[in-house]
Chains A and B, each alone.
Chain A
């Protein structure tokens, strides 16, 4: 409200203007003001306060005073709003810190438990293997000595003695084979425990399934000879390589082939590899006993042996298939079984083509999820420009013919155009319509372009909108200081303007830039993967190149591993650097 003659103008609204002096709190009498300006401090449809200027004289204020006050009001409103936002941010940060601490405590406890478990397993393995070494070793020596030196001297003409010799030989063979089974069991338990604890080292490389099958069938060929079974290998030509741990995939196939042979007495075992959609599927098909429908779902469970129901005694460790499942799932694939009782079984697994394996399984720091959540909550993500929607440009200029010219040019080029004639209108329009880009003149009545840009760039809601200054005023430095994205001068170079506008709009479709600072490459990779999948553009820096990278990349967020002395100076420097005022520094541990 702008009134330069109160008595006169109030009478338009109220029937009788009370000119009587009002007593003030200190008992004195006030004079009634004759001129006044009321300016609301508005942010996003909310009024935060009011600036009031009053004078006892009539006609005390000019349009220029009003314009100055309007700029002041706009700045003040944004400043107040930012202060409130900053307070919320601080509260939020305290909350994050608390969450981090909780996560850290939890992780420390988990790591301790994990270390204890690993140590226990290692000890158990050692303690079990030591006596087993004696049992198996001596059994083998006894068997050898008996075969070579004792049995030849025993007269076999007595049937009882002969039978005893055979029994002793058989019994020793049982001791040896069961000792070997026990050894395998210990290995399997350790393997499984290590896979589950994420302790197993995976050697991921390009692997061809043909090679895996070749190795596995070579390793199992003696089993086929022993039982007189035929091995049929059907590998589809031209299968692409996948990323995998070669030795462990061979282990899976050996396991499946051994099982197939174990439960097949006549016929053949077929090893097939083919492409199904985006997967390579390997099937091991036997013509053996088959599995009852009731048993089928149990075969991948631990210590549930199909042999329980189908053969006279279990032969394996009961952990082979669960290990296969863990290995295949680690590669992002699946394993399954199909069977018809009496007609054989098919054990198959899939390996995805071109999908990077879950290399980070078990290594992702516990607090990462919460970190991501916090990031998502805190960063004002400007909606990306949709390609199917024409970009909207706000043209701000007080000269009608320039507005008209730009409107025509931009419309011609396929953009949607809105216009505003001064700073206030521009701010209002930007807040209301969220254009994809603003072309802004500097010299305008009321609020000028620099002030408008400063307000827009200081308001979190509009800070993400790129601003191109288009002006006869050559004050590039001031423009960049208030945060505009490009500074072009009149007369208008349309080609250049279009190029810059295009580039900026393109950039808007890219995402918030995050600079991750950590010495540990695997942490950086994990963070980068997760953040990229959440739509951030991630760059990395190490302590020494942080300042340089930050200057070059102008990230929106800098994520730091617990500030070490090496980086803390850099962070201090960056915090006070021009243009870095809006960078969000987040520290994790």
Chain B
């Protein structure tokens, strides 16, 4: 059973926040991976094929929408559960996220517990 979670955000604080939120899952055999930009994220998705990705939208060069669309549509990784995290609570973005094939769309600031619950649900813990 694949228990890898990829955390993608260009803001170091937010990577730390998500990592600390999810770190209690490490006791249950979950591996946490990090990526600091879109390209790195795409490479990691390809090589590690995580079960779950928490993906920031607003990143320089390759945005979260792009990463999501490439993973889901070009690589055909439909089994990778992708949660888009965005700081723009705009309906247009929600639509873009859907178009990119994201499984879930969460608005910042998110509740750490909600993130943890989601991770448990997706990984079946």
Is B46's beta carbon under 8 Å from chain A? no
Q: Is the CB of B87 within 8 A of A134?
A: no
A138: chain B residues within 8 A (beta carbon): 13, 17
Give Cα A232 to B58, complex, Å. Answer: 46
Which chain A residues (119-148) contact chain B, with CB distance < 8 Å? 122, 125-126, 129-130, 132-138, 140-141, 144
Give Cα A133 to B111, complex, Å. Answer: 9
Q: Is the CB of A140 within 8 A of B88?
A: no
Query: Nearest-CB distance from A245 to chain B (Å)?
Result: 12
Q: Is the CB of B20 within 8 A of A133?
A: no
Give Cα A201 to B112, complex, Å. Answer: 30
Q: Is the CB of A134 within 8 A of B91?
A: no
Is B108's beta carbon under 8 Å from chain A? yes
Q: Is the CB of B87 within 8 A of A133?
A: yes
Is A445's beta carbon under 8 Å from chain B? no
Is A179's beta carbon under 8 Å from chain B? yes
Q: How large is the interface on B (under 10, 10 to 19, 20 to 34, 35 or more residues)?
A: 10 to 19
Instruction: Give a binary string over A370-391; 1 marks a CB under 8 Å from any B CB, 0 the rest.
Output: 0000000000000000000000
Q: Which residue of B lies closest to A201 (CB)?
A: B91
Give Cα A179 to B91, complex, Å. Answer: 23
* Chain A CB within 10 Å, residue with most, of B11, B21, B110, B112: B112
The answer to whether residues A132 and B109 also contact, given A122-B90, A126-B87, A141-B21 and a CB cut-off of 8 A, is yes
Give Cα A138 to B113, complex, Å. Answer: 11
Give Cα A183 to B13, complex, Å. Answer: 18
Q: Which residue of A lies closest to B85 (CB)?
A: A133
A144: chain B residues within 8 A (beta carbon): 112-113
Query: Nearest-CB distance from B52 to chain A (Å)?
Result: 18
Instruction: Give a binary string over A182-199; 1 marks a CB under 8 Å from any B CB, 0 the rest.
Output: 010001001000000000
Q: Is the CB of B90 within 8 A of A140?
A: no
A187: chain B residues within 8 A (beta carbon): 89
Is B122's beta carbon under 8 Å from chain A? no
Give Cα A135 to B11, complex, Å. Answer: 13
The answer to whether residues A126 and B58 also contact, given A137-B17, A141-B17, A141-B20 and a CB cut-off of 8 A, is yes
Q: Is the CB of B112 within 8 A of A140?
A: yes
Q: Is the CB of B90 within 8 A of A134?
A: no
Majority SS at the chain A contact face? helix
B89: chain A residues within 8 A (beta carbon): 125, 129, 187, 190
Instruction: Give a binary string over B6-49; 1 marks a CB under 8 Å from any A CB, 0 the rest.
Output: 00000101100100110000000000000000000000000000
Give Cα A201 to B92, complex, Å. Answer: 9
The answer to whether residues A129 and B112 also contact, given A134-B13, A187-B89 and a CB cut-off of 8 A, is no
B20: chain A residues within 8 A (beta carbon): 141
Q: Which residue of B lies closest to A200 (CB)?
A: B91
* Chain B CB within 10 Å, residue with most, of A134, A135, A137, A140: A137
Q: Which of A122, A137, A141, A190 contacts B109 (CB 8 A)?
A: A137
B13: chain A residues within 8 A (beta carbon): 134, 138
Give Cα A126 to B86, complex, Å. Answer: 8
Instruction: Give a binary string over B91-121; 1 marks a CB under 8 Å from any A CB, 0 the rest.
Output: 1000000000000000111111100000000
Query: Nearest-CB distance from B20 to chain A (Å)?
Result: 6
Q: Is the CB of A125 within 8 A of B17?
A: no
Give Cα A140 to B17, complex, Å. Answer: 10
The answer to whether residues A133 and B58 also contact, given A125-B87, A179-B109 and a CB cut-off of 8 A, is no
B113: chain A residues within 8 A (beta carbon): 140, 144
Q: Which of B14, B88, B90 contacts A133 (CB 8 A)?
A: B14
Q: Which residue of B lies closest to A134 (CB)?
A: B13
Query: Nearest-CB distance from B55 to chain A (Å)?
Result: 14
A140: chain B residues within 8 A (beta carbon): 111-113
Q: Which residue of B lies closest to A191 (CB)?
A: B89
The answer to whether residues A130 and B14 also contact, given A137-B110, A179-B109 and a CB cut-off of 8 A, is yes
Which chain B residues (50-66) contact chain A, with CB distance < 8 Å? 58
A130: chain B residues within 8 A (beta carbon): 11, 14, 87, 108
Q: Is the CB of B14 within 8 A of A134?
A: yes
Query: Nearest-CB distance from B120 to chain A (Å)?
Result: 15
Q: Is the CB of B109 within 8 A of A136?
A: yes
A201: chain B residues within 8 A (beta carbon): 91
* Chain A CB within 10 Å, residue with most, of B58, B107, B108, B113: B108
Query: Nearest-CB distance from A583 to chain B (Å)?
Result: 42
Q: Which residue of B lies closest to A183 (CB)?
A: B109
Q: Is the CB of B87 within 8 A of A129?
A: yes
Q: Is the CB of A133 within 8 A of B91?
A: no
Give Cα A138 to B18, complex, Å. Answer: 9
Which chain A residues (137-176) contact chain B, with CB distance < 8 Å? 137-138, 140-141, 144
Query: Nearest-CB distance from B8 to chain A (Å)?
Result: 14
A136: chain B residues within 8 A (beta carbon): 109
A134: chain B residues within 8 A (beta carbon): 11, 13-14, 17
Q: Which of A122, A132, A179, A183 contacts B88 (CB 8 A)?
A: A122
Query: Nearest-CB distance from B32 to chain A (Å)?
Result: 15
Q: Which residue of B lies closest to A182 (CB)?
A: B109
Give Cα A422 to B108, complex, Å. Answer: 85
Give Cα A490 to B108, complex, Å. Answer: 84
Query: Nearest-CB distance from B44 to chain A (Å)?
Result: 22
Give Cα A129 to B57, complex, Å. Answer: 13
Give Cα A144 to B113, complex, Å. Answer: 10
Which 4 A-B pairs rank lowest in CB-CB distance, beginning with the nearest? Answer: A129-B87, A133-B109, A126-B87, A133-B108
16 contacts between A and B (CB under 8 A): A122-B90, A125-B87, A126-B58, A132-B109, A133-B14, A133-B87, A133-B109, A134-B11, A136-B109, A137-B21, A137-B110, A138-B13, A141-B17, A141-B21, A183-B109, A190-B89
Known: A129-B88, A134-B13, A141-B112. 8 other contacts (CB 8 A): A125-B88, A134-B14, A135-B109, A137-B21, A138-B13, A140-B111, A140-B112, A187-B89
Residue numbers of B with Cβ under 8 A of A are 11, 13-14, 17, 20-21, 58, 87-91, 107-113
